[in-house]
Amino acid sequence: MQNNTPRFDPNPTVSQVLSGNKDAYRLIVSEYGLLVRGFLAARVYHLADAEDLAQDTFVKAYEKLEDYELGTNFRAWLMSIAQFLLNNHWRKNGNRATVMEKFRHDIAESIQAELKVAHEEVDESRIPKLLDCITKLPDNLRKVIRSGLDGEKISILAKQLNLQANAVYQLRHRAHIALRKCMNQTPSPTRS
Amino acid sequence: MKNFSHDPDYLDILSAWHGTLNISPKRRKELLDRLGHDQSLRAEVAEEIEMAGLIRAAQSGEPRWLELEEILSSAQESPLSFEDRILGQVSNKPRKPWLALLTRPSFAWLAMAATLVFAFVIPSEKQMPDGVARLLRYEGSDSSVQKDFEFRKGEQFQFNDGLVEVAFQESGVHLIGKGPLQMTVIDHNRLFLNEGEIKLVVPPQGIGFVVDTMERKFVDLGTSFVVQASSLGSRVLVLDGEIAVGERDGKGSRLMTEGGLANFNRNGEVSPHSTRPSGVPEVKKDIQGTKLGTLLGSIIGFPKDAQIPNPAPEDSPISRKLLPLVQSKFSDLTCLNKLKKGNPIRFRGIAGTYDLFPQRTGLVPYSENNGWIAWYQGKVKAPQKGKYRFWGYADNNLLVAVNGEPVFEGSRYDSSFRTETNVPRNNHPSFPCLNARAGFASGPWFESGDTPVQIDLLFGESQGNKTSSLLLIEQEGASYDQTYWGQPKWPLFATEEFSGPEKKALNKLKTHMEEKIMGSFSIPEAELWAVIQ
């Protein structure tokens, strides 16, 4: 799908930050915040942990900004920090993990390459359209998406919809396909 | 392209990923094997997980990243912080050797900072504006506490016993302090707590109010919270809303929300609210015997050699096994077949730790990994006609039914009573209780009139032998004493008077709860329910 969205060039902003305008870093956070949070929320079970790791990523990136080589791939550099912190998180929490947490980790390990590809296919310029696309979903799919994603809520939602939990995952699968399509089709808002 | 939405492996992987399904070891291996050799499944799962993460993040709203905000704000021309002002003032003075300590980013400077407030930050008495807070009330015997005392900036205040109530004039912050207490009012928006315990209620105009202790600074974000400080460290409990907890070196701001409880020792280390009932006293009660006028029960568990299909780490096999009993309004007893029973037991209230309960009630040997349940049943009559509701919690299983209908479910998240019965339940994390992060649970009101009601009470452990619980009852319209932070002391649900030694043990538990975990209850006297034979 063709993407006509003007891309954010982080290099001038990074230069501003490095020359003393720390406030400009907020633009970096704004542009990449959802991408980093989404990356971590996909890989960490508890959302609060994912949010903490996301903050740590931006703090670490800020501290190490001088190490970034201007003109290279800033997103890849930022995500490598997120991945590093994520690995640390897994290592630190590995001993305390329950059997199911370990199983989730095993799943993540076995699909690591595919997860990397899936993440690289996410176009950060199109992420802001996600919420708009959710509002355009049919009622039942929107309800599934908005119900949240933790286990207890899925089971409650399944009861509300008089469905098995697996049927909720089927609906969500359909919703995700629709959302991906919508995000790629909807014209991007003009960057101000 | 293959459609995976009907592929059971794909759906099981997603269920496991999102925590709704516990899967046997054999099935886990099957799924990992399939992932290992099916590239298209791996790609589909990865896409689904990536998208789910993005949606989770997008729907969770804008995060408040206080640590990052602090770093970026430090670049602005913002007013100097309290600490900076202190250090700024100090640096303008002729330096004495011991003052060099203050230039280091250590905890030590803050201890001195509170005492230096007068000298370096607070204007002299003549220049000082009107007071920033006023003492509204004092209940205690310390004669040094003056009625209508007005706190000025930098005012140190201490008393030995009782309670004080203080209102901050501009921010509208309301403080209740419990003696012995020592604190310094820095300004209308900040105080330093040296020692003691305070509860703060912060209205919208007071958002941003800061409580400093030696270990942490607590920034209110619209809430009510309790802070304790002592020579060993500090502790915070969020009763309502949200606070930010910052480290003294300016790093690591974290949000804590309703029900959050954390301890900070003098080295700055955090020990979050324990998830185990460590230290909760076990109350020794006379539970044997079948005398008249008592609510009787039996303890049930799986035989020692029982094979449980699909055991999972976060599962409660015994509550799952007894579900048909609950769902049949306690008429279908077939689920009890093949289970092991202990000795007959008497209901003596539920309070405290029950780690040795299976041993004391003759259930041992049994399948310890699969838990146990005590089932009490009988006809009871309320002390007064009226509406009642149960409060409490259990680690792990607790359910009460009246005339067959469940009216209270206070189990932990992994109990089938909680996940499968749909009993209306409200969680009250601002009323913390032993090791329950959800706090006290309450059930719906139910009527109890002149006619006795059938009561069925299930209580027990899911796996292992670390069991604790509390079951209280409230009558609508009745007034109960409260802890000073506002938690009513509902009475234990009980059908017999407690003996002297039992009351002593229960009082010990109550003291433990009030001092260590900020919960409480009362020992029933007039509130006893009668057992009808």
- A166: which chain B residues are within 8 Å (Cβ-Cβ)? 8, 11, 15
ipTM attached to this prediction: 0.87
Q: Give the residue from B17, B70, B76 with the most A CB atoms within 10 Å of its CB, the best one to mutate.
A: B17
CB-based contact B45 A107, cutoff 8 Å: yes
- Higher pLDDT: A75 or A167? It is A75
Nearest CA distance, B107 vs chain A (angstrom): 23
Is the residue at B316 inside a domain? yes
Query: Which of A46, A81, A100 is the best mutation test for B, with the most CBs of B within 10 A?
Result: A100
CA distance B383 to chain A (A): 37
Tokens of residue A136, six digits: 């355009």
B67 vs A55, A111, A146: nearest CB:
A55
Alpha-carbon dihedral sign for residues B114, B115, B120, B123: positive
- The last residue of a domain, from among B59, B80, B95: B59
Contact B75 A42 (CB under 8 A): no
- A40 and B53 in contact by Cβ < 8 A? yes
Is there a single domain that holds both residue B262 and residue B307? no
Please indicate, yes or no, if residue B149 is contained in any of the structural domains. Answer: yes
**Which residue in the block uniquely carries the two structure tokens 């990992």?**
B32
Rounded CA separation A82/A92 (Å): 15
Q: Which of residues 283-342 of B touch A (CB under 8 A)?
A: 312-314
Question: Which of A10-14, B180-184, B314-318, B401-405 bottoms out in mean pLDDT, i.e. has the lowest?
Answer: B314-318
Residues B391 and B446 in one domain: yes
Rounded mean pLDDT of B371-393? Answer: 94
Distance separating alpha carbons of residues B324 and B306, to the nearest angstrom: 19
Instruction: Find out if CATH 2.60.40 is the number for domain A124-192.
Output: no
B268 with B301, same domain: the answer is: no
Give B432's pLDDT tier (boundaries 50, 70, 90).
Answer: low
The pLDDT of residue B198 is above 60: yes
Given B36, B60, B313, which is nearest A47 (Cβ)?
Answer: B60
Can you name the residues that pair with B190 across neighbouring β-strands?
B187, B210
* Closest alpha carbon to B153 in B104, B180, B114, B199: B114
- Looking at the structure, tell me whether residues B306 and B263 fall in a common domain: no
Task: List chain A residues with CB under 8 Å of B17.
Answer: 104, 107
Residue A62: pLDDT band by 50, 70, 90 thresholds? very high
Buried b (16+ CB within 10 A) or exposed e, A7-29: ebebeebbebbeeeebebbbbbb
Q: Compute the average pLDDT of residues A36-54.
A: 87
pLDDT digits (tens, 9 = 90+) for B316-360: 889 989 999 999 999 999 999 989 999 889 999 999 888 888 988
Q: Is A169–B75 a contact, with Cβ atoms under 8 angstroms apart?
A: no
The shortest C-alpha distance from B20 to chain A (Å) reads: 4
Q: How far is B218 from chain A (nearest CA, A)?
A: 18
Residue B192 CA to residue B212 CA, distance in Å, equals: 5
Interface test with B, best of A13, A19, A29, A37 (most B CBs within 10 A): A37
CB contact under 8 A, B51 and A159: no
Residue with token string 């000025």 = B152
User: Shortest Cα distance from A72 to chain B (angstroms)?
Assistant: 24
CB B323 within 8 A of CB B382: no
pLDDT at position B268 is: 57
Q: Higher pLDDT residue, A95 or B342? A: B342
Same domain, B201 and B303: no
For domain A10-122, the CATH architecture is Orthogonal Bundle (1.10)
What's residue B520's pLDDT? 87
Q: Which residue of A has its CA nearest to B52?
A: A42
Enter the tokens of residue A146: 């908005």
Alpha helix locations (H) across chain A? 10-18, 25-43, 47-63, 74-93, 99-110, 112-120, 130-135, 139-146, 151-160, 165-185
Q: Poorest-confidence range of A53-67, A143-157, B28-42?
A: A143-157
Q: How far is B35 from chain A (nearest CA, A)?
A: 7
Count other Cβ atoms within 10 Å, centred on residue B84.
Answer: 12
Chain A residues with beta carbon closer than 8 angstroms to that of B422: 159
Measured CA to CA in angstroms, residue A41 lies from A54, B50, B387 at distances of: 9, 8, 45
pLDDT digits (tens, 9 = 90+) for B447-483: 998 889 999 999 999 887 778 889 999 999 999 998 8
At residue B68, the pLDDT reads 81
What pLDDT, on a 0 to 100 scale, did the predictor assign at position B79? 38
Q: Nearest CA to B341 among B292, B293, B375, B306?
A: B375
B427 has a chain A CB within 8 A of its CB: no
In the stretch 8-37 of chain B, residues with CB closer than 8 A to chain A read 8, 11, 13-23, 28, 31-32, 35-36
Amino acid found at A26 = R
Minimal C-alpha gap between B464 and chain A (Å): 15
Q: How many CB atoms lie within 10 A of CB B453?
A: 21
**Residue A169: which of B15, B65, B422 has the nearest Cβ?**
B15
Residue with tokens 């997103």: A75
Minimum-distance CB partner of B58 among A55, A104, A130: A130
pLDDT confidence bin for A58, thresholds 50/70/90: very high
Extract the tokens encoding B277. Answer: 């009932």
Top-confidence residue, B270 or B493: B493
**Is the pLDDT at B436 greater than 70, yes or no?**
no
- Domain residue limits, chain A: 10-122, 124-192
Judge: B55–A155 Cβ closer than 8 Å, yes or no.
Answer: no
Least CA distance to B413: which residue of chain A?
A: A152
Please classify residue B83 by burial: count the beta carbons closer than 10 Å to its beta carbon, then call 0-12 exposed, 13-18 middle and 19+ buried.
Answer: middle
Q: Do B265 and B309 sit in the same domain of this protein?
A: no
For B276-324, the pLDDT digits (tens) are: 334 456 777 777 766 667 899 999 999 988 877 655 555 688 998 999 9
Same domain assignment for residues B433 and B477: yes
Distance between CA A45 and CA A149 in Å, rounded? 10
Least confident window among B121-135, B407-421, B454-468: B121-135
Chain A residue closest in CA terms to B50: A42
Distance from the B308 Cα atom to the nearest Cα atom in chain A, whole angstroms: 17
- The pLDDT of residue B85: 36
The pLDDT of residue B325 is 95
Q: Pick the residue from chain A with its C-alpha nearest to B254.
A: A52
Of B21, B49, B65, the CB nearest to A115: B49
pLDDT averaged over every residue in chain B: 78
Mean pLDDT for all residues in chain A: 81
Per-residue pLDDT, averaged over A84-90, amounts to 88
B54 and B155 inside one domain: no
Q: Which of B 41-60 lie inside 8 A of A, CB atoms?
A: 42-43, 45-60
Residues above pLDDT 90, as percent of chain B: 26
Determine, yes or no, domain membership for B118. no
**pLDDT over 80 at B62, yes or no:** no
pLDDT 10s digits, A101-154: 788 888 988 998 999 888 888 887 777 778 778 878 887 788 778 765 444 466
Each residue's pLDDT tens digit, A23-35: 889 889 988 998 9
Q: Are residues B327 and B267 in the same domain?
A: no
Domain tally, chain B: 3
Between residues 63 and 82 of chain B, which touch chain A (CB distance below 8 Å)?
A: 63, 65, 67-68, 71-72, 74-76
Q: What is the pLDDT of residues B253-271, one digit of tens each?
A: 677 776 667 777 666 566 5
Higher pLDDT, A49 or A124: A49
Residue B72: inside a domain: no
Q: Is residue B524 part of a domain?
A: yes
Is the confidence at residue B117, as pLDDT, over 50? no
* CA dihedral of B17, B20, B26, B30, whole degrees rounded to 10: -40
Nearest to A122 among B23, B42, B50 (CB): B50
Summarize pLDDT for B179-190 with one digit per residue, the tens: 889 898 888 888
Per the structure block, which two tokens stand in for B211? Answer: 């409580």
B94-98, B189-193, B234-238, B443-447: range with highest mean pLDDT: B443-447
pLDDT of residue B114: 40
CATH number of the domain residue B453 falls in: 2.60.120.380
- Give the closest of B16, B32, B65 to A55, CB-based: B65
Query: Scanning every residue of chain A, which has its alpha carbon at the shortest distance from the alpha carbon of B253?
Result: A52
Rounded CA-CA distance B417/B411 in Å is 7
Residue B352 included in any domain: yes
Domain span at residue B448 reads 296-532
Q: Does residue B108 form part of some domain?
A: no
State yes or no: pLDDT of B429 exceeds 70.
no
**Residue B113 domain-assigned (yes or no):** no
The domain boundary residue, chosen from B14, B29, B59: B59
Q: What per-residue confidence (pLDDT) applies to A20?
A: 86
Shared domain for B195 and B317, answered yes or no, is: no
Cis before residue B365, ω within 30 degrees of 0?
yes
| Domain final position from B40, B59, B78 | B59
Q: How many residues does chain A have?
A: 192
Residue B61 — pLDDT band, cuts 50, 70, 90? low
What CATH number corresponds to the domain at position B223? 2.60.120.1440
Catalogue the E-assigned strands of B251-371.
254-257, 261-265, 270-272, 296-301, 340-346, 351-353
Examine the domain organization and report whether B264 and B321 are in the same domain: no
Question: Do both B500 and B463 map to the same domain?
Answer: yes
Q: What is the mean pLDDT of residues B424-431?
A: 76
Say which residue, B247 or A99, is predicted with more confidence. A99
pLDDT of the residue at B22: 67
